[in-house]
């Protein structure tokens, strides 16, 4: 059982290049999230999606775009990479659950991205 799979695991980019990070989940979860993790700052939410075809901004959305064309996939794009976007990126998913049953999020193993 794969759970949440992120590709690639590592990537080095030059400033101004573009790339797309892929997240795939096989648990039929409705909700999906992209976070970035920086030292001493925990995880910060970039964008999230509550269902196929819908996305919304999180805490730090600038410089990123997302798409969720299929329920199982959530793509994170960097149109013009900047050194400030050097980080570890985590994707997570969770089922809808009920209001009284907030389900935990399931995380991928991360993508380590360096922008030179």
Beta-bridge mates of residue 75:
22, 67
Of 96, 101, 97, 53, the closest CA to residue 74 belongs to: 53
Q: Rank residues 19 and 43 by Cβ distance to other proteins and give the closer one.
A: 43
Tell whether residue 98 is a contact of other proteins (CB under 8 A).
no
Binders of other proteins in range 69-88 (CB under 8 A): none
Distances (CA, A) of 31 to 10, 83, 105, 106: 25, 29, 9, 10
Of 58, 109, 63, 111, the closest CA to residue 85 belongs to: 63
Tell whether residue 101 is a contact of other proteins (CB under 8 A).
yes
Write each residue from 2 to 41 as x if it is in contact with other proteins (CB under 8 A), else as -, in one continuous string.
Answer: --x--------------------------x-x-x----xx
Q: Do 9 and 23 touch, CB atoms closer than 8 A?
A: no
Tell whether residue 102 is a contact of other proteins (CB under 8 A).
yes
Residues near other proteins, by CB under 8 A? 4, 31, 33, 35, 40-45, 48, 50, 56, 58-59, 90, 92, 94, 97, 100-102, 104-110
């Amino acid at each position: 059982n794969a759970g949440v799979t992120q590709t690639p695991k590592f990537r080095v980019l030059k400033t101004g290049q573009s790339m797309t990070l892929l997240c795939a989940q096989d648990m039929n979860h409705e909700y999906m999230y992209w976070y970035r993790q920086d030292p001493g700052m925990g995880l910060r939410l970039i964008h999230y999606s509550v269902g196929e075809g819908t996305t919304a901004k999180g805490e730090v959305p600038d410089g990123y775009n997302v798409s969720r064309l299929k329920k199982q996939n959530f793509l994170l794009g960097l149109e013009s990479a900047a050194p400030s976007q050097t980080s570890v990126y985590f994707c997570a998913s969770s089922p809808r659950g009920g209001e009284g049953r907030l389900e935990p999020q399931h995380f991928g193993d991360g993508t380590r991205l360096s922008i030179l």
